[in-house]
Amino acid sequence: MKKQNQHASRYYLLTLGCPKNTVDSEGMAMLLGEAGYHGTAVPEDADVLIVNTCGFLAAAEEESLAALRELADGKRQGQALIAAGCMAQRAGERIVREVPGVDGLLSTRRWMEIVPLVRGLRGGKEGRRFERYTLLGDPEHPLLDPTPRPPVLAGSAYLKISDGCNAPCAFCAIPGIKGKLRSRPQDAVVAEAQALVAGGAHEIILIAQDTTDYGRDLGQADGLPGLMQAILDGVPELRWLRLMYAYPGHVSQRLIDVMASDPRVCHYLDIPLQHGHPAVLRRMFRPSNVDKLLDTFAAMRTAMPDMAFRSTFIVGLPGETDAEFNGLLAFLEQIQFDKVGVFTFSPEPGTPAAEMPDQAPEAVKTGRYERAMALQQRISLARNQAQVGRVLDVLVEGNCVLSDGKGPVTLARSYRDAPEVDGLVVIPGELPVGGMARVRITGAMEYDLMGERVVKQRVTSNHYSLLNHSIVPVHHFAPGRVTPRTARQVRLMLTHDLRRAQLDEELRTQRQQHQVVDLAY
């Protein structure tokens, strides 16, 4: 059995969900490669089919089930199908019940055990017994060493510093899926950062369920600033260090000082607040001192005047009144976020909010979503227009050509934009994917910027003429980073159809169809 697996097996790996899943998939791909397995982008060519599922929301579970059903329906004799990730942990019995072709379940907490699970499977059309092929719960031996990772593509890499979450948010199922906070040792994180930069990363993005809670389980009350400083000291070649998934009650003055003291730290913070009215925040079991939140933002903007903020908000929480929703709108106006995602409340089984009285009708939630997004689009446009004339360094993600054959154009990000969730800088001409360039901003839209490369001889062109064209992709994208999202996203962007809900639906569809970790070793 061992000989057959090591010398003949190929795997197909489909990743759904957030960047944390992407990191886990990259780790699985490397472990499989080291064990002699080879990746393929074609399910029919694989001996093992793996779906790294998302189970954060009901819609994500349906997407995961749809992907599993599609693969199960096409299984040939001898193929094995594994459901890994968050939904496998949260709803493994449902997966086995609704997709009987699934042969194995692998918890999001135990992704590093993918090789023994694959070796224990024989596959087949009928599926396997739930108990025998299940690796759920916490691992017996947590991964303390640097996460094995593939070569860096497009110059950017996520770095997961912890897993699990101790926050008791009323609407969130993550603690039940991921478990309690488990921080990685600092030396392992720094070693992985060094390896990522040696492998081609200009940008490292720190991620976790709550990055600002890093180290608390290790006896460190404010461990993130020290970790960031250790990365900066230990990886002098790093160009950008970006921080995401900060918790509002955990942003310390020490963290602000570290961010402000080193120019390699992006003056950007993703800080999901979820609401702006104290009564709603209390029902969410979230930090509800709005004045303290305002002080935090003021302190960061004082230390870093060019700071860019991203946040997410939930509308339609049970009991949310018109006055409370209007308080959220006033909060958005007051803070002036650069980037915002708005979600309608989803009652997740097992969470306190799902059992709360006064559940809002879908029509009410949708109406509030549209009002909040319309307001934020106006704010985001003004924030982007303020960038016109600035010269910014950008990281190149891909190149496209216009649908009429003109072009190409380059798609890049500045320090103000995280991958996938934020906007792009669109630049005439073609620049190397994964490289960095200096760009003068020449135009702005709600989510995206137009720019021109700064060279000795000024390049002159009417960049707004690009708005009259749609574009099609060319094969200059970094696999696994840009390809699943680019063609439709940029077509929507350049025709000024910037409804985020529509874009998200496009991305969900394409991610289900195309997002694979396609690595052969």
Give the helix/strand (H/E) hosting 174: helix 174-178
Handedness of CA 447, 256, 312, 374 (dihedral sign): negative
Residue 207 confidence class, pLDDT cut points 50, 70, 90:
very high
What pLDDT shows up at residue 78? 82
> With 0-12 CB in 10 A as exposed, 13-18 as middle and 19+ as buried, what is 350?
exposed
User: What are the backbone angles phi and psi of residue 308, rounded to the nearest 5°?
Assistant: -115, 130
What pLDDT shows up at residue 510? 36
Q: What is the mean pLDDT of residues 6-14?
A: 76
What pLDDT shows up at residue 58? 82
Q: What is the mean pLDDT of residues 36-50?
A: 93
Q: What is the mean pLDDT of residues 337-366?
A: 95
| Residue 499 scores a pLDDT above 90 | no
- CA 10 to CA 50: how far, in whole Å? 11
What pLDDT shows up at residue 109? 81
| Residue 470 scores a pLDDT above 50 | no
Q: What is the mean pLDDT of residues 97-105?
A: 92
Comparing 140 with 408, the larger pLDDT belongs to 408
Q: What is the mean pLDDT of residues 409-413?
A: 95
For 420, residues 6+ apart whose C-beta sits below 8 A from its C-beta are 19, 485, 507
Neighbours of 279 (CB within 10 A): 15
Q: Which stretch of 56-70, 188-202, 477-491 has the lowest confidence by average pLDDT?
A: 477-491
List the beta bridge partners of residue 401. Answer: 472
| Residue 76 scores a pLDDT above 60 | yes
Q: Which stretch of 223-232, 312-321, 434-443, 470-479 has the lowest confidence by average pLDDT?
A: 470-479
Residue 202 confidence class, pLDDT cut points 50, 70, 90:
very high
Q: What is the DSSP letter of 361?
A: P
Assess contact for 316 and 365: CB atoms under 8 A. Answer: yes
Q: What is the mean pLDDT of residues 366-372?
A: 98
What pLDDT shows up at residue 148? 62
What is the spatial order of strands in the sheet that 265-270 belongs to?
Answer: 156-160, 203-207, 240-243, 265-270, 308-315, 339-344
Average pLDDT of the chain, as a whole number: 83
Tell me if residue 156 falls in helix, strand or coil: strand
Q: What is the mean pLDDT of residues 309-333?
A: 98
What pLDDT shows up at residue 474? 30
Considering the chain, what percentage of its residues have pLDDT values greater than 70?
A: 79
Do 2-135 and 156-385 fold alike per CATH?
Answer: no
- CA 332 to CA 309: how far, in whole Å? 12
Would you tell me which CATH number, out of the four given (3.40.50.720, 3.40.50.360, 3.30.465.10, 3.40.50.12160), belongs to the domain 2-135?
3.40.50.12160
Q: What is the mean pLDDT of residues 61-65?
A: 92
Q: What is the mean pLDDT of residues 158-182?
A: 91
Q: Which stretch of 6-20, 126-140, 373-387, 402-416 has the lowest confidence by average pLDDT?
A: 126-140
Pick from 214, 283, 207: which is nearest to 250 by CA? Answer: 214
Pick from 91, 97, 17: which is nearest to 60 by CA? Answer: 17
Comparing 517 with 430, the larger pLDDT belongs to 430
Residue 136 confidence class, pLDDT cut points 50, 70, 90:
low
What pLDDT shows up at residue 112? 86
Comparing 8 with 308, the larger pLDDT belongs to 308
Q: Which residue type is seen at 79?
A: Q
The winner for highest mean pLDDT among 107-111, 247-251, 491-495 is 247-251
What pLDDT shows up at residue 501? 36
Considering the chain, what percentage of its residues have pLDDT values greater than 90?
A: 64
User: How much is the pTM?
Assistant: 0.80
What pLDDT shows up at residue 125? 44
> Which sequence spans correspond to the domains of the chain?
2-135, 156-385, 391-514
What pLDDT shows up at residue 471? 30
List the beta bridge partners of residue 49. Answer: 12, 81
> With 0-12 CB in 10 A as exposed, 13-18 as middle and 19+ as buried, what is 44?
exposed
Assess contact for 272 and 244: CB atoms under 8 A. Answer: no
Where b means 16+ CB within 10 Å and e means fewer, 80-96 reads bbbbbbbbbbbbbeebb
What pLDDT shows up at residue 493? 32
Pick from 116, 85, 72, 67: which is nearest to 22 by CA? Answer: 85
- CA 427 to CA 405: how far, in whole Å? 16
What pLDDT shows up at residue 478? 34
Report, at the CATH architecture level, how domain 391-514 is classified. Answer: Beta Barrel (2.40)
> With 0-12 CB in 10 A as exposed, 13-18 as middle and 19+ as buried, what is 33?
middle
Return the structure tokens found at 151.
């070569």
156-385: CATH number: 3.80.30.20
| Residue 498 scores a pLDDT above 60 | no
Comparing 6 with 423, the larger pLDDT belongs to 423
> With 0-12 CB in 10 A as exposed, 13-18 as middle and 19+ as buried, what is 220?
middle
Q: What is the mean pLDDT of residues 462-489?
A: 31
Q: Residue 346 to residues 28, 57, 282: CA-CA distances in angstroms?
A: 30, 7, 18
Residue 439 confidence class, pLDDT cut points 50, 70, 90:
very high
| Residue 491 scores a pLDDT above 50 | no
Residue 433 confidence class, pLDDT cut points 50, 70, 90:
very high
